[in-house]
Amino acid sequence: MNQLIDVKAVAPPKQSVPRKGSGQVASTEEYQALYRQSIENPTLFFGEQARKLLHWYRDFDTVVSGDFYGFSNPPSWFNGGLINACYNAVDRHANETPNQIALIYEADDERLNYNVTYEELLARVCQTAQMLKSIGVKKGDIVTVYMPTIPETVYTILAICRIGAMFSLVFAGFSPNSLRDRIQHANSRVVITTDQALRGGKVVETKSLVDQALEGTDCVEHVVVVERTGAKVNMVEGRDFSYNKTVPTFGVYCPVEWVDSEHPFFLMYTSGSTGKPKGLQQSTAGFLLGTVLSSKHVFGVSQGDVYFCAADVGWVLGLSHAIFGPLLNHATTIIFESTPLHPTPTRLFDVIDRHKATHLYTAPTVLRLLRQHDEGQIKKYDLSSLRCLGTAGEPIAKDVWEWYFNEVGRRRCSICDTYWLTESCMVMLTTIPGVSNMKPGAAGMPFFGVKPKLLDDKGHEITSRPAEGTLVFKNPWPSMARTVRGDHQRYQETYLKPFPGYFFTGDGAVFDKDNTIFITGRVDDVVNVSGHRISTAEIESAIMTAQAENLSIASETAVIGVNDDVTGQALNAFIVLEPHFQDKGHAKVVEHAIEHVAKGIGKFAVPKRLFLVKDLPKTRSGKIMRRVLRKIASGEEDQLSDLSTLSEPAVIDHIIQVVKASS
Ligand code: WTA
């Protein structure tokens, strides 16, 4: 905590102070006054904002009902209201400014870029909605979306909510096994994908991966295939059909299905400490308000802005801020299919320059990579259109923050750190651009309506400052996930029961003397690699089920996260082989284990380093001491501190040797 409690504040650049009359808070005093109102009278605050920023077909009767103590029923919002997400994101703007550009598609190969106006967006969404209706998709159905970041993905997501169905978004980097689990769990009758995907010039065989995922499942009746590359792919007669050939045959208008505020909106799977990923379920009005508020009051997005969130739309960051945030606020959004290094490490700057982007929103891991590759070329780009630079997903180190501020923002833009989670779908802690003093590395201050608290190990609130503890939220907010689909008990146990009366985030934090909040990292077994949450338990279970010669490979394993210069954290696995494999060619066995993780979860979950060891350090009660493994893997074996509970001290020397020999 020591290095965090006296981080010096940097004043926000004058150029980034919001315009008067923009609807955004423009000074610290205004922030404090609105924050106070949002906490003292959340009903008034959220009710007013919901009516101001969203279109309601029927107004709601109550703003919020329930609290965190009502475990069996999480709070519900805007009861009595009728709303539609697609109408809010598209129709109202298409009616007002049909020719305004809604989407800028920045393709993997920039020669394929094109723009889509709000009028065209509405037409494409309506045609897609009609196509879905024609195959029987209706209110309450869950369509699985396994797509790269292309305009058709935006059309599909908006079309699904237009007709009151739900989408389950699966990042197109997940393996067939992970995709199968999600399709079956959601009981999807329809899956939508592409023939292939392109990322950084590399081909991903999305359709073939879907085919593999569907082996042994029987719920899926249709696979809709968007032609992204035009490659000839396997099409199953009667089940699969081309999006491109069918969608244009439908008319360009499809009526909106107005739904209750609490109508389930989408499923997003996320990693937790144990077991399989949880299918977090969002509700419609709450998600819309959390997202439109974050986009409006954190980033100050409005009509005329060109918003560039460089995330894949298969992750929550892209869904919320490349699609819904800017569209709900009537702005233009750039959707980015490629990778930051393709074809060169200046791609993002080129995009900003060409499209005159007003915002850039990305993760520290991307910034670390760009900084590493920066040899001064960035100076050639005109980045003067930028107003605000956002970051999310992990803490940003001071030197990366400074590079972002000096080189990308040229000291004219605020750096806006945003702390949030898939579970929150609203920015919870932030630095308001042009208003809040910025402390490099800090997530910032609470967003409107958010009451962050710090708890000690016994669950008591720590009120002294500076202090370190576990971060929780004391009050409900509109866009909190409502349940883990099919397992509400797991939702209660994960978020509401650890500290009754609070929502448990899974993160540790330091509050400094000014109440600025720094996130210190997950306190559970979740590792944050390149801003993506990965559960170590899930990888361990994939390794434990890896087989060779019909026999299990591993008798025990422990996966941990260690600090990494580029990816934030990196995965390291310690494996104890079954006796049968102990003396065999190790390389082959390790290959099997790696393959199993890649197949079971996805390539991004494959540990960066694998160590074959004879035993793992355990307490006398048999618990693996991951803390010790973390220290050794980080080269800090001289700081193992308290080893009094260790059952076999000799194990430590052996593991140190193995790690040293491989580095
Ligand atoms: C971490 C991503 C520090 C945190 C939007 C959280 C952060 C997890 C920040 C959620 C930030 C997110 N500073 N850490 N600004 N933002 N995190 O669900 O550990 O993929 O619990 O949502 O990322 O990751 P998720």
From the CA of 441, how far away is ligand 1's center (Å)? 13
What's the pLDDT score for residue 273? 60
C-alpha 243/C-alpha 221 separation (Å) is 15
Q: Which residues pair with 470 in a beta bridge?
A: 455, 508
* pLDDT score of 183 more than 80: yes
Looking at the predicted structure, is the pLDDT value of residue 281 above 80? Answer: yes
Closest atom of ligand 1 relative to the 521 alpha carbon? 19
Tell how far the Cα of 210 is from the centroid of ligand 1, in angstroms.
29
Query: Which tokens go with 531?
Result: 């801003």
Higher pLDDT, 624 or 297: 297
Residue nearest to atom 8 of ligand 1 (CA): 421
The predicted-structure confidence for 25-49, as pLDDT tens digits, reads as follows 888 899 999 999 999 999 999 999 9
240 has pLDDT over 90:
yes
Between the CA of 392 and the centroid of ligand 1 the distance, in Å, is: 6
pLDDT digits (tens, 9 = 90+) for 312-365: 999 999 999 999 999 999 999 999 999 999 999 999 999 999 999 999 999 998
- For residue 222, the surrounding DSSP H or E stretch is strand 222-226
* HEC-encoded secondary structure of 143-178: EEECCCCCHHHHHHHHHHHHCCCEEEECCCCECHHH
Q: What is the pLDDT of residues 482-508, one digit of tens each?
A: 999 999 999 999 999 999 999 999 999
Residue-wise pLDDT for 123-164, tens only, equals: 999 999 999 999 999 999 999 999 999 999 999 999 999 999
Pairing of strands 359-362, 388-392: parallel
The answer, as to whether pTM is greater than 0.80, is yes
Lowest mean pLDDT, pick from 53-57, 71-75, 155-159, 302-306: 71-75
274 has pLDDT over 70: no
The CA 96 to ligand 1 mean position distance, Å, reads: 36
- Nearest ligand 1 atom, CA 270: 18
Distance (angstroms) between ligand 1 centre and the Cα of 575 equals: 28
> Where are the extended beta strands (E) located within 227-342?
240-242, 259-260, 264-270, 278-283, 306-309, 332-336
Q: What is the pLDDT of residues 222-234, one digit of tens each?
A: 999 999 999 999 9
Cα of 193 vs centre of ligand 1, distance in Å, is 28
CA of 442 to the centre of ligand 1 (A): 12
Please give the Cα distance from 253 to 258 (Å, whole number): 15
Residue nearest to atom 15 of ligand 1 (CA): 419
Q: Does position 72 have pLDDT exceeding 80, yes or no?
A: no
| Probe residue for ligand 1, chosen from 271, 294, 430, 519 as the CB with the greatest number of ligand atoms within 8 Å | 519
**3-state class (DSSP) for residue 561:** strand
- Protein residue closest via CA to atom 10 of ligand 1: 421
- The reported pLDDT for the residue numbered 587 is 72
Q: How many CB atoms lie within 10 A of CB 140?
A: 11
Atom of ligand 1 nearest to the CA of 315: 20
What percent of the chain has pLDDT above 90? Answer: 75
- The CA distance from 503 to 473, in Å, is 5
The token pair at 643 is 């080893």
In the structure encoding, which two tokens stand for residue 298, read together?
Answer: 């954190």
Instruction: State residue 627's pLDDT score.
Output: 85
pLDDT score of 552: 86
CA distance 415 to 389: 5
Please report, as a single letter, which amino acid is at residue 213.
Answer: A
| Per-residue confidence band for 275, with pLDDT thresholds at 50, 70 and 90 | low
Beta partners for residue 334, in sequence order: 104, 308
Residue nearest to atom 22 of ligand 1 (CA): 421
pLDDT > 70? residue 207: yes
Is the pLDDT reported for residue 414 higher than 70?
A: yes
Distance 393 CA to ligand 1 centre (A): 4
**pLDDT level of residue 210 (50, 70, 90 thresholds):** very high
Q: Which of 422, 424, 528 to mutate to test the pocket of ligand 1 (most atoms within 8 A of CB)?
A: 528
Q: How many residues does the chain have?
A: 663
The answer, yes or no, to whether residue 74 has pLDDT greater than 90, is no
Asked whether residue 71 carries a pLDDT value surpassing 70, the answer given is no
Counting atoms of ligand 1 from 1, which one is nearest the CA of 506? Answer: 21
**Closest Cα to atom 6 of ligand 1:** 421
**244 has a pLDDT exceeding 70:** yes
Å from CA of 443 to ligand 1 middle:
10
What's the pLDDT at 2? 67
**What's the mean pLDDT in 413-440?**
94
Task: Work out which ligand 1 atom sits closest to the CA atom of 391.
Answer: 15
Centre of ligand 1 to C-alpha 505, Å, is 10
Share of the chain above pLDDT 70, in %: 98
Dump pLDDT digits (tens) for 556-566. 899 999 999 88
Helix or strand (DSSP H, E) at 575? strand 568-577
| Residues with a CB atom less than 6 Å from ligand 1 | 270, 316-317, 392-395, 417-422, 443, 505-507, 519, 522, 528, 533
pLDDT for residue 646 is more than 80? no
CA distances for 149 relative to 38, 395, 518, angstroms: 35, 25, 32
Residue 272 has pLDDT above 80, yes or no: no
Q: Which atom of ligand 1 is nearest to the CA of 429?
A: 15
How many other C-beta atoms can be found within 10 angstroms of the C-beta atom of residue 379?
10
Going from the C-alpha of 653 to that of each of 11, 104, 575, 578, the distances in angstroms are 49, 56, 16, 21
Could you tell me the two tokens for 165?
A: 């169905």
Give the pLDDT mean for 569-575: 94
Query: Per DSSP, which regions of 310-458 are E strands?
Result: 332-336, 359-362, 388-392, 414-419, 429-430, 445-446, 452-455
Give distance in angstroms: CA of 73 to centre of ligand 1. Answer: 26
- Going by CA atoms, what residue is nearest to atom 12 of ligand 1? 393
pLDDT in tens, 580-629: 887 766 777 888 888 889 988 888 899 999 999 998 998 776 778 888 99
Residue 107 predicted with pLDDT over 90: yes
Whether residue 10 is predicted with pLDDT greater than 70 in this model: the reply is yes
Ligand 1 binding pocket mutation candidate from 298, 419, 428, 480 (most atoms within 8 A of CB): 419
Ligand 1 atom with the smallest distance to the CA of 526 is 19
Q: Backbone phi, then psi, for 471, in 5-degree steps?
A: -85, 130
Cα–ligand 1 centroid distance for 457 (angstroms): 22
Q: What is the pLDDT, as a whole number, of residue 585? A: 66
Q: Exposed/middle/buried for 393, CB within 10 Å: 0-12, 13-18, 19+?
A: buried
Model pLDDT, residue 69: 76
CB 221 within 8 A of CB 187: no
Say what the pLDDT of residue 83 is.
98
For ligand 1, mutation pick of 394, 404, 425 (most atoms within 8 Å of CB): 394
CA of residue 568 to ligand 1 center, whole Å: 12
Token pair listed for 441: 């590395």
Closest ligand 1 atom, residue 533 Cα: 20
Whole-angstrom distance, CA of residue 391 vs CA of residue 378: 19
pLDDT digits (tens, 9 = 90+) for 360-411: 999 998 998 999 999 999 999 999 999 999 999 988 989 999 999 999 999 9
- Name the residue with tokens 């899974």: 506
Question: Which H or E run contains 36?
Answer: helix 28-40
In ligand 1, the atom with minimum distance to the C-alpha of 423 is: 18
Q: pLDDT-derived band of residue 306, with 50, 70 and 90 as boundaries?
A: very high
Q: What is the pLDDT of residue 194?
A: 98
Is ipTM beyond 0.90? yes
Residue in 436, 507, 527 to alter for ligand 1 test, most ligand atoms within 8 A of Cβ: 507
Based on the number of CB atoms within 10 Å of its own CB, is 451 exposed (0-12), middle (13-18) or buried (19 or more)? middle
What is the residue with the minimal CA distance to atom 25 of ligand 1? 421
For position 545, what pLDDT does the model report? 86
Token pair of 472, please?
Answer: 């929780």
Q: How many whole angstroms from 419 Cα to the centroid of ligand 1?
A: 6
**Cα 420 to ligand 1 centroid, rounded to whole Å:** 5
Residue 445: pLDDT over 80? yes
> Cα(123)–Cα(90) distance, rounded to whole angstroms?
10
Q: Tell me how far the alpha carbon of residue 498 lies from the centroid of ligand 1, in angstroms.
A: 19
From ligand 1's centre to the CA of 421, what distance in Å? 5
Q: Which long-range contacts (CB under 8 A, 24 or more apart) does 248-251 make?
A: 248/127, 250/126, 250/127, 250/130, 250/131, 250/134, 251/126, 251/127, 251/130
Pocket test for ligand 1, best of 280, 421, 450, 520 (most atoms within 8 A of CB): 421
| Cα 75 to middle of ligand 1, angstroms | 23
